[in-house]
Chains A and B, each alone.
Chain A
Amino acid sequence: MNIGMAFALLGAALATGLAGWGSAKGVGIAGQAAAGVVAEDPSQFAKVLILELLPGTQGIYGLLVAFITLANIGVLGGNPVTDLPTGLMYLGACLPIAIAGLGSGIYQGKTSAASIGLVAKKPDQFGKAMLFPAMVETYAILALLVSILAVTNIR
């Protein structure tokens, strides 16, 4: 295997690993809050579950970028990477979702936990409570778009 291919694979690994880490941490934080609410009021289970799942999307975005990368670099299809510059381009293309996925996953988890507290106290405010963590999603989506555009346009 050449060094270019190694960098391209590193990019795919970072996209999945870092974004997945962010999601795991975010879902973990929100999950603690959700468990706290359900411990006292089991009727809120469905609402808090939705809020808990919101930070899970970053991991999926990372996985998607990793799949597209693997499909382009000769692992799941496409042409194998044969030179260093192309490998570095794949690595660079994967970084937006890797970094933004990690950060936004954690912060979305914290916001979800705060929103779970809001729903615990005022269950009728569920719609508004959803919006706060959803705002954080914007930045994960922007990073996902940039990563997909970059990975699919490397020649």
Chain B
Amino acid sequence: MSELDYTFAVARVRVLEKSLLTDADIAQMTALSDEPAVLQFLAGKGWGESGAAHQTAEDMLACETEKTKQTVRELLAEPELLQIFSYQDMYHNLKAAIKVTCTQGEAPGVFVSCPGFDRERMLQIVGEKAWRELPAHMQEAAAEAYQTLLQTRDGQRCDIILDRAALEAIAKAGKESDEPVIRDYADRLVSVADIRIAVRAAGVGKNREFLTKALAPCPSLDAAGLARAAAAGKESVIAWLRTTRFAPAADALAQSPSAFERWCDDEMTEAIRPQKRNPFSAGPVIAYMLARQNEIRMARILLTAKANGLPETAIRERTRRMYG
């Protein structure tokens, strides 16, 4: 599709970007006294249903999620561009369905909303071992994860098979995409996910064999080097990260786990930031969608923190950089 066909959509997005939350808004919300005050602030910014009284945090966030989906549906002429963003949900539901089927247990609230691959559909596919009904990139991993869980009863091995398959599918879809924003997003997501896995594995003393299986190859990161460093422990990961372009991750990791999680989310925001200067193509529409998801996630963190009475300093450590 011609990039000029997005001229109308990008112009609309530029107006919508004005209502995105800024870093100053987040600082202001952090300073508010409690959850109702944050909800009131967000309602003043047009969040939630207009005119609705006494909205709960969940209602407001669900409403904003739906508004974002609706806007993107209106603006994006090629919905297939969004497929890559549902891969993680698809693999998550597959993982849940395999575990529920193999353990014959119940897992209420584990499945996430994923059109085409929701709870019932995924349970049916796994129950019938109808792997061919899954997208091509999921079939082999699904069969392997299912067999592994049946034979070993090791949920973690099942997880790493599917997590790696999800990352490889995202990396491949990103590489094949014509949209720079999708290419950058996929590359950044896989590298950040690898670093996150390595940090967690190093924390619980996983060996190199586990790490080699868990980390997905990524053009901007030496997965083998990261696996080697993680097998030697957290300090070794920090030292290794300092030698790469992910040095800020090392500083965040040295500071605290929440600072590291913040760095992970900020990296994703940085991946979409160049779209602010792009007047044509689908990139700004996709960037707007990701920015909205990021601010909804940030609002959830703030609301939860306020509801649980977390001090301002602890909240500030968790505040993500905004796109707006």
Q: In chain A, residues 2-50, which have Cβ atoms closer than 8 Å to a Cβ of chain B?
A: 29, 32-37, 39-41, 44
CB distance from B15 to the nearest CB of A (A): 4
Q: In the complex, what residue of chain A is closest to B71 when comparing beta carbons?
A: A40
Which of A75-83, A93-101, A109-117, A147-155 contacts its partner? A109-117
Cβ B16 vs Cβ A117 within 8 A:
no
Cβ A36 vs Cβ B8 within 8 A:
yes
Cβ A117 vs Cβ B18 within 8 A:
no
Cβ A41 vs Cβ B7 within 8 A:
no
Cβ B280 vs Cβ A121 within 8 A:
no
Cβ B11 vs Cβ A36 within 8 A:
yes
Q: In the complex, what residue of chain A is closest to B284 when comparing beta carbons?
A: A117
The bracket for how many chain A residues form the interface is 10 to 19
Which residues of B sit under 8 angstroms from A34, Cβ to Cβ? 11
Which residues of B sit under 8 angstroms from A117, Cβ to Cβ? 10-11, 14, 279
A41 vs B19: C-alpha distance when bound (angstroms): 12
A-B contact count (CB 8 A): 57
Which residues of B sit under 8 angstroms from A41, Cβ to Cβ? 15
Which residues of B sit under 8 angstroms from A121, Cβ to Cβ? 14-15, 17-18
Bitwise, A101-129 to B at CB < 8 A (1) or not (0) is: 00000000010011011101100000000
Cβ A113 vs Cβ B14 within 8 A:
no
| Interface membership of B12, Cβ < 8 A | yes
**Contacts A114-B279, A117-B279 hold; do A37 and B7 have CB atoms under 8 A apart?**
no
**Contacts A29-B4, A33-B7, A36-B7 hold; do A113 and B279 have CB atoms under 8 A apart?**
yes
Which residues of B sit under 8 angstroms from A110, Cβ to Cβ? 4, 279-280
Cβ A36 vs Cβ B18 within 8 A:
no
CB distance from A85 to the nearest CB of B (A): 42
Q: In the complex, what residue of chain B is closest to A36 when comparing beta carbons?
A: B11
| Interface membership of B97, Cβ < 8 A | no
A35 vs B7: C-alpha distance when bound (angstroms): 9
Cβ A40 vs Cβ B12 within 8 A:
yes
**Contacts A40-B16, A113-B280, A114-B279 hold; do A120 and B11 have CB atoms under 8 A apart?**
yes
Which residues of B sit under 8 angstroms from A29, Cβ to Cβ? 4, 7
Cβ B16 vs Cβ A33 within 8 A:
no
Cβ B9 vs Cβ A36 within 8 A:
yes
Q: In chain B, residues 1-46, which have Cβ atoms closer than 8 Å to a Cβ of chain A?
A: 4, 7-18
Which residues of A sit under 8 angstroms from B12, Cβ to Cβ? 36-37, 39-40
CB distance from A131 to the nearest CB of B (A): 16
A29 vs B10: C-alpha distance when bound (angstroms): 12
Cβ B18 vs Cβ A32 within 8 A:
no
A142 vs B36: C-alpha distance when bound (angstroms): 63
Cβ B4 vs Cβ A37 within 8 A:
no
Which residues of A sit under 8 angstroms from B280, Cβ to Cβ? 110, 113
One of A33, A114, A118 near B8 (C-beta < 8 A): A33
Q: In the complex, what residue of chain B is closest to A30 when comparing beta carbons?
A: B7
Which residues of B sit under 8 angstroms from A120, Cβ to Cβ? 11, 14-15, 18
Which residues of A sit under 8 angstroms from B16, Cβ to Cβ? 40
A40 vs B10: C-alpha distance when bound (angstroms): 12
Q: In the complex, what residue of chain A is closest to B16 when comparing beta carbons?
A: A40
A32 vs B12: C-alpha distance when bound (angstroms): 10
A110 vs B2: C-alpha distance when bound (angstroms): 13
Q: 9 closest pairs, A vs B, by CB?
A: A36-B11, A40-B15, A114-B279, A120-B14, A32-B7, A33-B11, A36-B8, A36-B12, A117-B14
Q: Known contacts A33-B11, A116-B11; can you find 19 more A-B pairs with CB under 8 A?
A: A32-B7, A32-B8, A33-B8, A33-B10, A33-B279, A36-B8, A37-B11, A37-B14, A37-B15, A40-B16, A44-B15, A110-B279, A113-B11, A114-B279, A117-B279, A120-B14, A121-B14, A121-B15, A121-B17
